[in-house]
Structure 1
């Protein structure tokens, strides 16, 4: 059959009648039921009919305050749990652990505690550190703890995802001494509000899926080997961008760039390649035909690396599109014969 829920709503008058019938044993934490029975009070209703001043003198104010809250005469005030502003917890392991699997199994409790703390904060961790506490004074040497940093491209509080990243780190770790304790601390976090699932999922996965992939790559290849471009406020192409780790704070924020942007090549050469000139036309495996008007860039006078260039989109006979430039008049790249040198700086896809 159908099981009815164990609660129901009643009116205040009926609530008072129901409470009046409860035995004084319900007040055992606030008053001695035997003492109340000795003065002739066997129910809560009989206790409430006693003079309040005398009852307060004999038993203190806590009893009447709790009765008033139960009967709805005064509001109930609760001391709600407040999460600490920072997360740092440690635990002792049941034995001397010398394997990644053992450490990971012990760290699950810390990861679950971290997930709960992050849920209260409505945040996700972007960098945390697991410290492996080694057996002290082993062979007469006081060993220091081993720090295992974990960085994330996007904030997350999923303990399963954090556990996978931690496994990648621990699998590459050499245990020079047994581990007897673990400590986990959060070094950086960011707001992390759960998103609703789309009715029609985007092809290629969600941004969360991409973030998990980047996190896994960082754990396997190292933080300095998984980079993303960050635009800089410089018109010189070779200085208009820098590469930074994907988990660097602010690294995934779009820069404020003017709109519309001039067309740029997919590949930029590390250094501009000088081009030969035949009949006043630059050549790269053959003469190049200019397809665009010049885009003038003049910048760098403030740091001693002045660039005075006119950029063009050029095309070779076989369809290869190049990004080339020539130095402006008066630049040191002008040769003795009056010809201005041309350079290849990038290739279009």
Structure 2
């Protein structure tokens, strides 16, 4: 068109425009990321992990796995694969990840690696912090690194994440434990553990907690997110009792938490006094000091309903591309916010950290 503006490149962004969320100081920040149309919600590309191990014949072999929507972190994908191949954990030689292994719900990869492959040499490219700001900084470094690789390899780049805000949603009306039971059964079928009345009849257990555990129960195995504290015939333990059982020092406040289950890194508990669901390490801080709890849900009914929502939707995330998974995440976060607005009230709450990993393409 004579006199018109020059044609826009594919993707509708002027040349050299940095993709959202990838500030690279002092560098031309283009990196060739294709832009989805007009900020369409998109999950990030995640990262790759490469593990070297010694095979039975003495040769060195490697496994390469990468993040994909609806799958565990690459380190866990590799863990399950090695187990299926009967590779002894002590034959793992080296693990290299594009993003430092995390200490977060939904994965706790660093803990798994310490416990399973303590002798392995561990390296990574982008650091991954423990708070939201440093994690996002790490994601920026990861995207910049991947962009450089694409420039060298001349392959199609994967889009950077475009996170959609959580819209204001009307809260879902509370339902009785019998309806929570139906939601859990719909999501997990027979994989729900219902507690015996005797197991929940201990001093200080709020009636709503006791009733929900007996009538609705909790999912037994909802890897990689949650596993119920399912030991038939024994009372629901306090965190102090669980610590004693495991031979670790309990924190001074461990008697004020009732253990519902585990997310692999922490115990998921009812906090006496508030009846909130929180995540707390089984072991104490230095010198027996309490560790501040991480907020999960307002109460046990909300936690059970949010788990049922995730249980229903998680399998539908598998196999989606980045834009489809973006739409899934928009839908999931709106339903989660309706079930328990407080669950997403802080960027460091348990559900917020899971949601952050979903947007970044790690889960």
What TM-score results when the alignment is normalised by the length of structure 2? Answer: 0.19
**Rg larger in 1 or in 2?**
1
| Bigger strand fraction | 1
What TM-score results when the alignment is normalised by the length of structure 1? Answer: 0.19
Higher-RCO chain (CA-CA 8 Å, sequence separation at least 6): 2
